[in-house]
Structure 1
Amino acid sequence: MIIRTDKWPLQTTQQQLDYVRLTQVAYRSYCRALSIVVLNNWPALCQAQSFSAAVERLIHPTAKNPSPRHTYFSKRFYKFPSYLRRAAIEFVKGQVSSYLTRYGQWLDGDRRRADARPPMFTPDSGCYPSLYRGQMVRFDEDCKSVDIKLWDGREWLWHKMSVKSVRQRHLQGKTKSPALILARGHCHLSVPVEIRRVRLPDEKRVCSVDVGINTLATASIITSNGTVVARRFLHPAADIDRRDKRSRLISKKARKTGNLSKGFCKGVYRKIGNINKQIAQITSKELVTFALAHGADVIVFEDLKGWRPKAGRKRSPLRQRFHGWLHRSLATLTEEKFVEAGGRVAHVYARGTSSWAFDGSGKLRRDKSNATQATFSTGKRYNADLNASYNIGARYWAWKHTLTRCKDGQLLGDRSSSGKPRMPVTLSTLWPRESEAPYQCPA
């Protein structure tokens, strides 16, 4: 099972928007007061058979518990819904547990600096109310409208709202309790959906992706015997130009300013980050569509986690382009989308995929004037990003066929000096060989 969250925007009147704001304020005030109670009684609450029931005995009066220890809650929060109260208890439990864990680590000496101050407990958190189906929220059959119980300052009453748009994901899985989100004057439901994970049929094809600077992503469909079925270049040039234009604007302002203060060009940096997020979302969706259209059940990336750029001078245009490189966010978003579709994402060792020719002719030479082009030792000219994508797919299949012990791209060595060549795995490794070849590609 996997959980995915959909955003359902709500059509509200100004009065309903005010009620949502009051509900959010009331819920956060409740959580803030409850967090003090839970923190002060944490050892006893952890030993109780039911954490939620133990907290309720402290704050909520009932026929069997007419005089709870803390009467503030029944006086301050009039007719606070029971399901909303239990949602607040679970949220506060996580907040207090996190604080005590971090404080314990600080006492044990696990600190970033020797003079690091202890973590502070901040009960005022930006949480949102969770709505239990049937008790706090009711959907109609086609999910075009929703009834939500809101606090209007005097009573908790039901209010009907229209849903602007929904995805079809909730038809394929089971919806969980949504959260009521109010941000920037707009209201929406954050609806988690539990989806049963399926597996795509094994067609013995992979989609290998080279994430680059000159071309954002170059994808190739590679079969187990080294056949290239399809290729595609993904490079949203218009969005990238919009991002780079703002990066140049920052450089221009920095040269004029000299000493940069905290928060320099904060709005421009925020815009660049939003454009990058949009580029990653669009490109990852196109990658998944391309892989599914050609029957690939695995998407292969280079393992660039933790990689930091070294090329380019400080504050140079090349260094700026590296800082805007989407090598991690693109791989993460692609994996999230492809796993939901039933596929898998794998990562292989990155070194040598771009510097060795896919045909086995040896190292290649990149053009200094045009880095997208490369020259093989045989004199052949070829696209460098396509060459890298071929080798990425070949490394996956070499690991799958146990030609390598891991995905490091090196063939298994012999005891003698002769035998397999001392070069990384390339696409030519998968091509059928004669019987006298030092290794065979399995069928």
Structure 2
Amino acid sequence: MKVKKPTKIIRTDKWTLNPTAQQRVLFGETVKVYRRLCRYLVGIVFTHWSKLGGLSSQQQIPAVERLIHATAKRPVVKYPSMDGVFYKFPSYYRRAAISFAIGQVSSYITRYREWQCGLSRQRRQAKPPILKAEAGCYPVLYKGQCYKLHGYRAIEIKVFTGTDWIWTKVQITGLRERHGIPGNKMLSPALIFNDRVCHLSVPFDCVPEKRNPDKNVVAVDLGINTTATVTVVTFGGTVIHREFIHPGRDIDRRDQRLKSVAMRARKTMGKGGKLHKGFCAQTYRKCANINNQISHIVSKRIVQIASAFNVEAIVFENLKGWKAKGGRKRSTLRQRFHGWLKAKICDYTEMKWQERGGKVIEVKAAYTSKLAYDGSGIVKRDSKNYALAVFASGKRYNCDLNGSQNIAARGILQLTRRKDSEEPSSQCSGGSPRSWACLCDLWTQTSPGLA
């Protein structure tokens, strides 16, 4: 039996720096000379890729250094101009640049082969990929050689003055919380500097603690009227928590900006014509940022609920490939479906929950909202309020809440099926298929795994 290795969890924090005017000049010179070296190295690596491509990642960097860097034991190299042009260039900065150049060339070779085979062509006239020698890279800092950390209030960075390399101490003004978690390991940060920002991009190898979860799950129904409907259900089918998450203020800000785009488009085009490329690009960028903020707010709250109830898993519907059928073209309903953040919320929730040692599972989305959680059959939507469902018994219930409870039941059955090897069948005894299960199916279970 093969033992599956646990996947590494790498997350990145932003540490804000507060440089002086002189330090900003030094950072600019450092980034400039680092990018010059990267452009220089990409050409060399691409020229010798026939030999470098077959080496392992540990062998590639020394192989490139043997081509460009002369030492006492190796006085003659193929490209001696490198030591003259980049005088006294720190060895660890040089190795970071070599690693970047190898990555750029390797990516280009892969993409070019896919283009040749036709795997990446969307149309017959698609142009081949381009090898970008710089690609806006930033210097990677290695501990002890490129940076020295003084607590978490200041950091010394080796920078370029234009003629020499010196150490400069800069204040750290903003941190996240990952550096304070005992199991996390700090990796080599990158110095991000341009006209707008100055910070360190600090990756962490996160090692979550081992969990001893209770027998319950968090089920999330992602909707249009309500962003997320959250239900906590035990393995026995008892609902112990319900919550509606809907950051209305941020949604209104986004929708107001999108309405302004439609108004400006009518004034620009009139009844006919075309919009120029990049029309309202800044507005669309702001709307995308608002969507990211909404996704982070919702996912953060879901993870908080999961942590508070110590759940075994967070359950979502599998909505991959789903396309809206309702709403005519260019209607308000179509626009709301287009802004539905079903994928982002799932991705951000999974990223946050993985750091805490939890798992996220997906269940089949069919009939989660159409079937009544009490087993009374298919529900009907209220004609005056589409968010309400009418059961066969005449009971009126929130449709999203009904769907989240059914999602929880399917997630619980999926988890217990994996644990219970004595019940391999895909059919529940006396009930519907597991993929179409409802909350009532948990009430009738007699399996000891659900006790």
Task: Indicate whether 1:239 and 2:246 are aligned.
Answer: no
**Contact 1:32–1:125 under 8 Å retained in 2:** no
Partner of residue 425, structure 1: 437
Alpha-carbon distance in structure 2 between the residues aligned to 1:148 and 1:81: 12
Q: Structure 2 vs 1, CA of residues 138 and 441 (structure 1 numbering), >3 Å: closer, same or farther? A: closer
Alpha-carbon distance in structure 1 between the residues aligned to 2:449 and 2:133: 61
Alpha-carbon distance in structure 2 between the residues aligned to 1:292 and 1:245: 35
Partner of residue 286, structure 1: 301
> Of 57, 61, 66, which aligns to 1:52?
61
Partner of residue 377, structure 2: 362
CA drift at 1:184 = 4.3
Superposition TM-score, scaled by structure 1 size: 0.92
- Partner of 1:232, secondary structure, is strand
Task: Indicate whether 1:188 and 2:199 are aligned.
Answer: yes
Partner of residue 148, structure 1: 157
> Of 62, 65, 89, which aligns to 1:80?
89
Partner of residue 250, structure 1: 261
**Contact 1:225–1:432 under 8 Å retained in 2:** no
Alpha-carbon distance in structure 1 between the residues aligned to 2:337 and 2:419: 31
Alignment of 1:33-432 (within 5 A): 33-47=40-54, 50-110=59-119, 111-140=121-150, 142-172=151-181, 173-258=184-269, 259-402=274-417, 412=427, 420-421=431-432, 424-432=436-444
**Contact 1:83–1:136 under 8 Å retained in 2:** yes
CA drift at 1:256 = 2.9
Deviations 1:311-370 (A, max 9, x none): 211111111111111100001001111111121111100110011111111111112332
**Contact 1:9–1:189 under 8 Å retained in 2:** yes
- Partner of 2:159, secondary structure, is strand
> Of 14, 17, 20, which aligns to 1:13?
20
Q: Structure 2 vs 1, CA of residues 277 and 421 (structure 1 numbering), >3 Å: closer, same or farther? A: closer
Q: Structure 2 vs 1, CA of residues 183 and 310 (structure 1 numbering), >3 Å: closer, same or farther? A: farther
**Contact 1:404–1:412 under 8 Å retained in 2:** no
**Contact 2:380–2:390 under 8 Å retained in 1:** yes
Alpha-carbon distance in structure 2 between the residues aligned to 1:131 and 1:21: 15
Q: Structure 2 vs 1, CA of residues 413 and 176 (structure 1 numbering), >3 Å: closer, same or farther? A: closer
Gaps of 5+ in 1: none
Give the counterpart letter for 1:425 in structure 2.
Answer: A
**Contact 2:382–2:390 under 8 Å retained in 1:** yes
Alpha-carbon distance in structure 2 between the residues aligned to 1:305 and 1:332: 12
Q: Structure 2 vs 1, CA of residues 30 and 336 (structure 1 numbering), >3 Å: closer, same or farther? A: same
**Contact 2:232–2:240 under 8 Å retained in 1:** yes
**Contact 1:139–1:147 under 8 Å retained in 2:** yes
**Contact 2:431–2:441 under 8 Å retained in 1:** no
Alpha-carbon distance in structure 2 between the residues aligned to 1:346 and 1:51: 39
CA drift at 1:432 = 3.6
Give the counterpart letter for 1:260 in structure 2.
Answer: L
Task: Indicate whether 1:3 and 2:14 are aligned.
Answer: no
Bigger drift between 49-58 and 176-185 goes to: 49-58
Bigger drift between 97-106 and 374-383 goes to: 97-106
**Contact 1:208–1:392 under 8 Å retained in 2:** yes
Alpha-carbon distance in structure 2 between the residues aligned to 1:204 and 1:413: 20
RMSD between superposed Cα atoms in Å: 2.2
Over the matched positions of the two proteins, sequence identity in percent amounts to 46
Alpha-carbon distance in structure 2 between the residues aligned to 1:84 and 1:271: 36
**Contact 1:398–1:404 under 8 Å retained in 2:** no
CA drift at 1:392 = 0.3
- Partner of 2:168, secondary structure, is strand
CA drift at 1:411 = 6.1
- Partner of 1:26, secondary structure, is helix
**Contact 1:28–1:128 under 8 Å retained in 2:** yes
Alpha-carbon distance in structure 2 between the residues aligned to 1:55 and 1:404: 51
Superposition TM-score, scaled by structure 2 size: 0.90
Q: Structure 2 vs 1, CA of residues 421 and 112 (structure 1 numbering), >3 Å: closer, same or farther? A: closer
Would you say how many aligned residue pairs link Structure 1 and Structure 2?
Answer: 430
Gaps of 5+ in 2: 1-7
Give the counterpart letter for 2:9 in structure 1.
Answer: I
**Contact 1:394–1:425 under 8 Å retained in 2:** yes
Q: Structure 2 vs 1, CA of residues 73 and 237 (structure 1 numbering), >3 Å: closer, same or farther? A: same
**Contact 1:404–1:411 under 8 Å retained in 2:** no
Alpha-carbon distance in structure 1 between the residues aligned to 2:242 and 2:310: 13
**Contact 1:430–1:441 under 8 Å retained in 2:** no
Alpha-carbon distance in structure 2 between the residues aligned to 1:441 and 1:384: 29
Q: Structure 2 vs 1, CA of residues 86 and 375 (structure 1 numbering), >3 Å: closer, same or farther? A: same
Deviations 1:130-157 (A, max 9, x none): 00000000001x2110000011111111
